[in-house]
Chain A
Amino acid sequence: NAGVMQNPRHLVRRRGQEARLRCSPVKGHSHVYWYRQLPEEGLKFMVYLQKENIIDESGMPKERFSAEFPKEGPSILRIQQVVRGDSAAYFCASSVSSYNEQFFGPGTRLTVL
């Protein structure tokens, strides 16, 4: 009974490179959420997706960041041309429907050198 899986758990990139973060939701969940957490801070909402659709991207920077949740395969959070300020833990959560309990993954810790 696998929960939310995220990979990689740790990712190191140099400034200007691309970072791809993957999230496999709980089996049967079609709603995925991405959050960013800086050290010693709470979670900041980035984007909410349902299969093949972006429902709410109000928390995601307009440039360099994109997210997708294709019909098949994991959800991907993509950060292009990373900068040091992108260093953070990125968490994915999934739910069976909107306004329902979210299950969080263990996070991907991105370090930009």
Chain B
Amino acid sequence: TQLLEQSPQFLSIQEGENLTVYCNSSSVFSSLQWYRQEPGEGPVLLVTVVTGGEVKKLKRLTFQFGDARKDSSLHITAAQPGDTGLYLCAGEWYVRFGAGTRLTVKP
């Protein structure tokens, strides 16, 4: 079973701080997706990583796929209240979702 574990489960920080959240598995994935979900809405895809060691940037968000394609991280620089939400990672496009990291950025 390909399980995805996300950490931390909850994170509350002040505006302007940096943070990193993690998505780990004991299994190898051919691709991994990161989503953000806001309350009352469906998840929105942020990025897909497919190559071991790959780094992708989306404005203040930096995504990295581990060399062995078993883990990934999301780093946010200078967090803003608009970054508040549930960050989910998913493996192999649709079957496996992690439980998510619930981020709160306080003004």
Q: Is chain A's binding surface mostly helix, strand, loop or mixed? A: loop
Expressed in whole angstroms, the minimum distance between the Cβ of B31 and any Cβ of chain A is 8
Q: Does A48 contact B (CB under 8 A)?
A: yes
Q: Are B42 and A44 in contact (CB under 8 A)?
A: no
Contact of B43 (CB < 8 Å), options: A43, A44, A58: A43
**What 0/1 pattern do residues 26 to 48 of B give for CB contact below 8 A with A?**
00000100000000111111001
Q: Are A42 and B100 in contact (CB under 8 A)?
A: yes
Whether A101 contacts B45 in the complex (CB less than 8 A), given A43-B88, A45-B96, comes out as yes
Number of interface residues of B (CB under 8 A): 21
In angstroms, Cα B45 to Cα A103, docked, is 8
Q: Are B42 and A45 in contact (CB under 8 A)?
A: no
Q: Which B-chain residue is minimally distant from A31 (CB atoms)? A: B94
In angstroms, Cα B37 to Cα A41, docked, is 11
In angstroms, Cα B93 to Cα A33, docked, is 11
Q: Which 5 A-B pairs have the closest CB atoms?
A: A104-B42, A42-B99, A43-B97, A42-B100, A42-B97
